[in-house]
């Protein structure tokens, strides 16, 4: 009998991209599926092959959940906190696949990114690990981009600035940014076709955004025409949790004996999809740019080195070019004035694909096909 897989959080940002990928790859043919909801009980589930229930099931129904071979949750950490241990407590022995961060650092879980840690995943399955968690989006995208340097032990440390799109904060935030765009456009559209000076238009733009009441919004402030250099909650050492994850998760995924130091500032920007990252890398020793490019581009099938020219950068190294693709372009590769071991690079990746849904789809297939 085919395995029974339950999907929770399938209509959110990550979940809907996952569903799309599973459909496009005909993965639903390989298992039976059932769809759950936390808010739309007994509504209509998506139309996929081998679906066993014609309605949305209650995501809090432990009895039903405990009949599943695999649970895929893209619902967020609150749900995982509420349900995961209860299921374990009643003796559920199935596989739990999760997009949220809650279980990532758990000793009995593996952070999945199989182009990087396939052997650890395989070994973990053999040893009876049952919990597989997608990594932080920027961590996964960084590892896909710089895999060739990590796997050759060339990285001493990395300082990174991120430029993270609004969809990284979930569907609600994405809707809020689109609403900000609509609201501001309504306010400035007549001025655009008038003789108003550019400074007048800028004033109306800025005051429109500042006049919105953000108290009940998820973003808590304007993102249009703006950026927010703060993502996730604060840690005691001045980092945000998003910044803390960079080093913690990278070292867990790479299973390093000695920590590779990674730190920086994570910034929310008003692009809709894709996270970009600007890296300053200290190499362990001086190697040529040619060698660096060759190591990076031969590491996996999705990374692509972009030539360090304006045209190539404009056409290949930005969110709009990458959105909806599995491509991981990396460009602006150059040695820095600081010294021969110091390298800059800039990379873009769709955080909903390699940064979230794709590693989950791939671990689901690995478990189904084992
Ligand atoms: N977004 C990313 O780029 C990303 C990347 C890596 C990891 N993650 C992690 O993955 C988890 C899920 O993130 P997410 O960004 O997918 O969250 P999300 O878009 O906010 O979706 C989560 C849930 O919110 C409910 N929901 C409420 N209003 C909705 C609306 N208008 N449209 C769709 N769903 C709505 C849905 O649950 P019901 O159907 O049950 O109501 C949905 O499953 C989080 O733990 C997040 O940290 C996200």
Per-residue pLDDT tens digits for 255-271:
999 999 999 999 999 99
Q: Quick check: 259 and 155 in contact, CB under 8 A?
A: no
Say which residue the tokens 């990396």 belong to.
Answer: 330
Give me the pLDDT at residue 63, please: 97
Catalytic residues: 137, 275
Tokens at residue 288, please? Answer: 């040529």
Q: Closest residue (by CA) to atom 25 of ligand 1?
A: 12
Tokens at residue 47, please? Answer: 């139309």
Give the mutation target among 12, 167, 173 for probing the ligand 1 site: most ligand atoms within 8 A of CB.
12
Read off the pLDDT band of 318 (50, 70, 90): very high
- Is residue 292 lining ligand 1, measured as CB closer than 6 Å? no
Read off the pLDDT band of 254 (50, 70, 90): very high
d(CA 102, CA 79) in angstroms, rounded, equals: 10
Say which residue the tokens 């399955």 belong to.
Answer: 125
Give me the pLDDT at residue 119, please: 98
Calculate how far, in angstroms, residue 168's C-alpha sits from the geometric centre of ligand 1.
9
Who's near 202: CB < 8 A, 6+ residues apart?
none
Report all structural domains of the chain as residue ranges with CATH numbers, in order of start: 4-135+356-369 (3.40.50.720), 140-169+228-351 (3.30.360.10), 171-211 (no CATH)
Calculate how far, in angstroms, residue 42's C-alpha sits from the geometric centre of ligand 1.
19
d(CA 119, CA 361) in angstroms, rounded, equals: 17
Q: What is the mean pLDDT of the segment spanning 78-93?
A: 98
Give me the pLDDT at residue 237, please: 97
Task: Compute and round to an integer the Cα radius of gyration of the chain.
Answer: 22
- Is residue 355 lining ligand 1, measured as CB closer than 6 Å? yes
- Is residue 195 lining ligand 1, measured as CB closer than 6 Å? no
Q: What is the mean pLDDT of the segment spanning 165-177?
A: 97
Altogether, the residues listed in the chain come to a count of 370
- Is residue 13 lining ligand 1, measured as CB closer than 6 Å? yes
Per-residue pLDDT tens digits for 190-242:
999 899 999 999 999 999 999 999 999 999 999 999 999 999 999 999 999 99
- From the CA of 174, give the closest atom in ligand 1: 19
- Is residue 140 lining ligand 1, measured as CB closer than 6 Å? no
DSSP 245: H
C-alpha distances in Å from residue 311, one per residue of 277, 279, 331, 350: 19, 21, 12, 21
Say which residue the tokens 């949750």 belong to.
Answer: 73
- Is residue 155 lining ligand 1, measured as CB closer than 6 Å? no
Per-residue pLDDT tens digits for 117-132:
999 999 999 999 999 9
Calculate how far, in angstroms, residue 280's C-alpha sits from the geometric centre of ligand 1.
31
Give me the pLDDT at residue 128, please: 98
> Under DSSP, is residue 1 helix (H, G, I), strand (E, B) or coil?
coil
Who's near 113: CB < 8 A, 6+ residues apart?
134, 135, 140, 143, 144, 253, 359
Residue among 11, 21, 41 nearest 357 (CA)? 21
- From the CA of 14, give the closest atom in ligand 1: 16
Q: What is the mean pLDDT of the segment spanning 46-64?
A: 97
159: phi then psi, degrees, rounded to nearest 5: -110, 130
Read off the pLDDT band of 152 (50, 70, 90): very high
Percent of the chain with pLDDT over 90: 99
- From the CA of 102, give the closest atom in ligand 1: 45
Q: Closest residue (by CA) to atom 11 of ligand 1?
A: 76
Calculate how far, in angstroms, residue 13's C-alpha sits from the geometric centre of ligand 1.
5
Calculate how far, in angstroms, residue 234's C-alpha sits from the geometric centre of ligand 1.
21
Residue among 20, 309, 332 nearest 145 (CA)? 332
Give me the pLDDT at residue 229, please: 98
Average pLDDT across the chain, whole number: 97
- Is residue 327 lining ligand 1, measured as CB closer than 6 Å? no
d(CA 57, CA 104) in angstroms, rounded, equals: 26
- From the CA of 77, give the closest atom in ligand 1: 45
- Is residue 352 lining ligand 1, measured as CB closer than 6 Å? yes
Neighbours of 180 (CB within 10 A): 24
Q: What is the mean pLDDT of the segment spanning 68-91?
A: 98
d(CA 41, CA 36) in angstroms, rounded, equals: 8
CA 338 to chain centre: 32
**Buried residues in 130-157 as b, exposed as e (16+ CB within 10 A):** bbbbbbbbbbbbbbbbbbbbbeeebbee
């Amino acid at each position: 009998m085919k395995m029974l897989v339950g999907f929770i959080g399938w209509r959110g940002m990550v979940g809907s991209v996952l569903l799309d990928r599973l459909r496009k790859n005909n993965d639903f043919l390989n298992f039976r599926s059932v769809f759950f909801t936390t808010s739309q009980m007994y509504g209509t589930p998506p139309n996929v092959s081998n679906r066993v229930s014609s309605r949305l099931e209650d995501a809090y129904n432990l009895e039903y959940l405990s009949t599943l071979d695999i649970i895929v949750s893209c619902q967020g950490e609150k749900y995982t906190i509420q349900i995961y241990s209860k299921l374990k407590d009643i003796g559920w022995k199935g596989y739990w696949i999760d997009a949220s961060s809650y279980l990532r650092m758990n000793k009995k879980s593996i952070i999945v990114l199989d182009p990087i840690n396939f052997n650890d995943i395989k070994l973990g399955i053999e040893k009876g690990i049952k919990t597989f968690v997608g990594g932080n989006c920027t961590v996964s995208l960084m590892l896909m981009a710089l895999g060739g340097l990590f796997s050759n032990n060339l990285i001493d440390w990395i300082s990174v600035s991120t430029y993270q799109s609004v969809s990284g904060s979930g569907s609600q935030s994405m809707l809020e940014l689109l609403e900000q765009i609509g609201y501001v456009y309504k306010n400035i559209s007549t001025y655009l076709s008038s003789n108003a000076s550019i400074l007048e238009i800028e004033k109306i733009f800025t005051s429109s955004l500042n006049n919105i009441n953000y108290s009940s919004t998820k973003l808590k402030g304007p993102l249009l025409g703006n950026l927010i250099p703060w993502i996730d909650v604060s840690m005691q050492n001045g980092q945000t949790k998003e910044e803390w994850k960079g080093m913690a998760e990278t070292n867990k995924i790479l299973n390093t004996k000695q920590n590779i130091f990674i730190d920086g500032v994570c910034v929310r920007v008003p692009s809709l999809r894709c996270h970009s990252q600007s890296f300053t890398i200290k190499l362990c020793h001086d190697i040529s740019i040619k060698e660096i490019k060759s190591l990076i581009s031969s590491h996996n099938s999705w990374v692509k080195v972009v030539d360090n020219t304006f045209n190539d950068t404009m056409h290949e190294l930005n969110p709009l070019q990458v959105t909806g693709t599995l491509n991981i372009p990396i460009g602006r590769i150059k040695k820095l004035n600081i010294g021969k071991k110091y390298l800059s690079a800039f990379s873009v990746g769709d955080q909903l694909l390699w940064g979230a849904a794709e590693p989950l789809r791939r671990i689901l297939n690995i478990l189904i096909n084992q």
